[in-house]
Amino acid sequence: MRSLMRILCVAALAVAFQSASATDFALSRYVDTWLRHPVYGDPSFDAFERVPGNPIHRGTPPFEWPVNGFLFHDPVSGNHYIYVGDYTLGYGGKPSRCVLYRSTDGAQTWTNLGVVLKGDPALFDKDGHTPDVSVVYDQGRYHMVYDWGELNFNAEGGLAYAWSEKPEGPWHRATQPITRNTTLPKLLDRYQRTYAATLIKRSHDWLIVAMMDFAPNAWALFTMTAKQPEGPWSERQLVRHVERDEFHPPLMEFYPSFAHKGFLYVPATSVALNRNFNLLFQVPLERATEPDAWRIAQHGSLWHSEDVEHESHGLWGQTISGSVDANGTLRAMFNSRDARGMGTVNLARRSWKQPLRERGFVLSGHQGPSFTCLRETFRQFNLDATLRLRGTASLIWDYRGALGPNLPQSDATLHPLAKTRFQAVQLSPAGWQVIRVNAEGKSTTLASGAATNHPTWRIHLQRKPDGSVVFRSDGKELWSGPPDANVAKDDPGAIGLWVEAHSHLTAEEFQIDGKPLPAKLSYLGMEALLGAGENLANWQERSGPEFRYGIGLVSKQSQARVKWNVTGTRLTLWSPRGPDFGEAEIRVNGERLAVVNLHSEKTEPSRPIWSSKKLRGSFHGVVLQARTGQLPVDCLQAED
């Protein structure tokens, strides 16, 4: 009996030790362990809660897209206002306008006051577009900066000023605009079109924070200053853009911004296909014109889409319009599109001091799939996951795919090579499958079973020391796989989640017991074009065994530059060599770390040409720039 008791005690201690050593990656303290990206998606732990009554406004023809807006709390009356950028379908074709909503009961109920700003045939917009505004109260007046454009706003438009004695108007517009795009010199030989401006009052002057684009490849944020809100305004100063060598996620749009306790906060949303990645920039308000004073205050986990009909398309338009009230609550107006494609206007809120929930993250697929994985992995593990799912998703292990976008531009989605080289349990309304996906993306079903209308999955996945895998659901063993020789390799592959289009996943538990190792993630050359805002027309797409994953890019122009924006502390750059290639410089966060010679008499297959020492920090801009010859671009491997 004593021997039996001793055995039971030892077993109990072993279980207790195992539980104590496990890590639950569904806790927000591990938020930065997850991969997030403007194209791939964002496993968001944000703490925003929706306000009852959404949507406040829904688009109807001919103004199908009310997809931008500005939330304003009037310090005089205490009323709340939403200035809605009211567009027609696709933004163009017919003039857009600004519609005003007002709440007199603390943002609980709203009244549509109708059109507050529209084009005038006698003014510079020529009866064209006047959609997006920002408003500031100062010394008895309300001051507005807004977008304007002729009917073809891509041909002519800019920013303009108006003032009023009441938030409702009437608004008195200046006779001349602040900026007229066709008269502006291009910055960096590409940025000219100004739009999406926020007006901010500073201690001794006024500030405009606004956008320029080189669509569909690049977006930039700039500032202007003036002694008075009507101007005259200074020249544009670029502060955030992909042409800087620092880490800067691409495809981000920034309007509108807000100030709080001496700092300017600028949220940003990706214009990739899913529009489900967001971040928050921060800069001391009085130093907002200094590019080096800016920093990323929150990389991802800023916003999530709820699984409701009026948020079907993710965060659509620009980004959230926020302000922090006297109680420390961040109130946010946000836009989306419903299942019919009509724009919607909505409200949410959270505590300013608690941006993340304690447990649980959301990963959504809207018009395309989303993918995330842990930046650490495990050779042997016990994984327990509780997943709430509508649609189809996969729990992945042994992931060795190649990450990147399908195109380096807006509406990008995951590259086909991202969905290769892994094993997974795929969950869908019809049931489950265990699949293996090879290097060509071909999927083989190893086992399957029915589970109709199963919204919550409780999964246990175990990989044993010999490489065999056991899959259980709700305590029942459903599949056992044979030993896998790959487990003995240096790279056991990453563990992650893949969510298909029109699907919504909430991870309530993601607990792993095992010895962590750094995950090795590889990023394609297309990722480097995206990160530098490069036009694909300037590059040759090539296929062949000289590239690590069978595809790569070669520049058509001299002095070509690309940039990977990656997380990790150890980096390895892969490249082929060949007769048309020359010397290239490698810079990390603006510092030149190496010059590599990529020339050879005959084509040589890709191999590591440079590896970093352990880098400080996790976020890095990795630039590869040609000095002579054409530039081949293969892939970059990153690990922690």
Q: Given a cut of 70, is residue 11 above it in pLDDT?
A: no
Q: How many whole angstroms separate alpha carbon 189 and alpha carbon 300? A: 30
Residue 39 covered by a domain: no
Residues 529 and 489 in one domain: no
Whichever domain contains 275, its CATH number is: 2.115.10.20
pLDDT band of residue 486 (cuts 50, 70, 90) is: low
Q: Where among 289, 318, 352 does a domain terminate?
A: 352
Average pLDDT, the chain: 94
Look at residue 145 and give its three-state secondary structure.
strand
Separation of first and last alpha carbons in the chain: 49
The pLDDT, as a whole number, for residue 576 is: 98
pLDDT in tens, 544-600: 999 999 999 999 999 999 999 999 999 999 999 999 999 999 999 999 999 999 999
Instruction: Choose the final residue of a domain: 517, 546, 561.
Output: 517
**Is 336 found in the same domain as 210?**
yes
Model confidence pLDDT, tens digit, residues 489-521? 668 999 999 999 999 999 999 999 999 999 999
In a domain, 114, yes or no: yes
So what's the pLDDT on residue 19? 46
Same domain flag for 193 and 65: yes
**Structure-token pair, residue 276:** 């489900």
Question: Positive or negative, the Cα torsion across 153, 156, 159, 163?
Answer: negative
**Residue 520 DSSP code:** P
Is residue 317 one of the residues assigned to a domain? yes
Token output for 167: 């938030």
Same structural domain for residues 510 and 526?
no
Is 10 contained in some domain? Answer: no
- Report the pLDDT value the prediction gives residue 487, as an integer from 0 to 100: 55
Residues 505 and 530 in one domain: no
Across the range 156-166, mean pLDDT stands at: 98
DSSP class of residue 19?
H
pLDDT at 491: 81
pLDDT value for 21: 80
Share of the chain above pLDDT 90, in %: 93
Sign of CA dihedral 388, 392, 398, 402: negative
CATH of the domain at 553: 2.60.120.260
Q: Does 10 score more than 80 pLDDT?
A: no
- Work out whether the CA dihedral 93, 95, 98, 99 comes out positive or negative: negative
Residue 178 to residue 301: CA distance in whole angstroms: 35
Asked if pLDDT for residue 2 goes beyond 80, the answer is: no
How remote is the C-alpha of 367 from its chain's centroid? 15
**Mean per-residue pLDDT for 460-474?**
94
CA angle, 405 then 411 then 198, to 5°:
115
pTM, whole model, 2 decimals? 0.94
Query: For residue 219, what are its two tokens?
Result: 């977006």
Could you say which of 484, 517, 550 is where a domain stops? 517
Domains in the chain: how many in total?
3
In a domain, 474, yes or no: yes
CA distances from 105 to 1, 79, 81, 110, 228 (A): 72, 7, 11, 9, 33
pLDDT band at 5 (very low <50, low <70, confident <90, very high): very low
Mean local confidence (pLDDT), 339-346: 97
Rounded Cα–Cα distance for residues 413 and 270 (Å):
11
In the three-class reduction of DSSP (H, G, I as helix; E, B as strand; rest coil), residue 101 is classed as: strand
Please state which of the ranges 10-14, 302-306, 427-431, 478-482 shows the lowest mean pLDDT. 10-14
In a domain, 571, yes or no: yes
**Residues 268 and 408 both lie in one domain:** no
181 shares its domain with 275: yes
Q: Who has greater pLDDT, 488 or 335? A: 335
* Together in a domain, 201 and 314: yes
pLDDT for position 1: 38
Same-domain pairing of 219 and 258: yes
User: Is 453 in the same domain as 595?
Assistant: no
Domain shared by 136 and 169, yes or no: yes
Cα distance between residue 535 and residue 222, in whole Å: 22
Q: Hey, what amino acid is at 459?
A: I
Beta-sheet pairing, 521-524 with 402-403: parallel
Q: Which residue has the higher pLDDT, 337 or 14?
A: 337
Contacts of residues 426-433 at CB distance under 8 Å and 24 or more positions apart, as own/partner, are 426/392, 426/393, 426/394, 427/387, 427/389, 427/392, 427/393, 427/394, 427/395, 427/454, 427/457, 428/391, 428/392, 429/391, 429/392, 429/453, 429/454, 432/457, 432/473, 432/478
Encode pLDDT of 585-621 as tens digits.
999 999 999 999 999 999 999 999 999 999 999 999 9
Give the residue carrying structure tokens 């209308």: 453
- What pLDDT, on a 0 to 100 scale, did the predictor assign at position 93? 82
Domain hosting 466: range is 366-517
Residue 12 maps to a domain: no
Looking at the structure, tell me whether residues 138 and 201 fall in a common domain.
yes
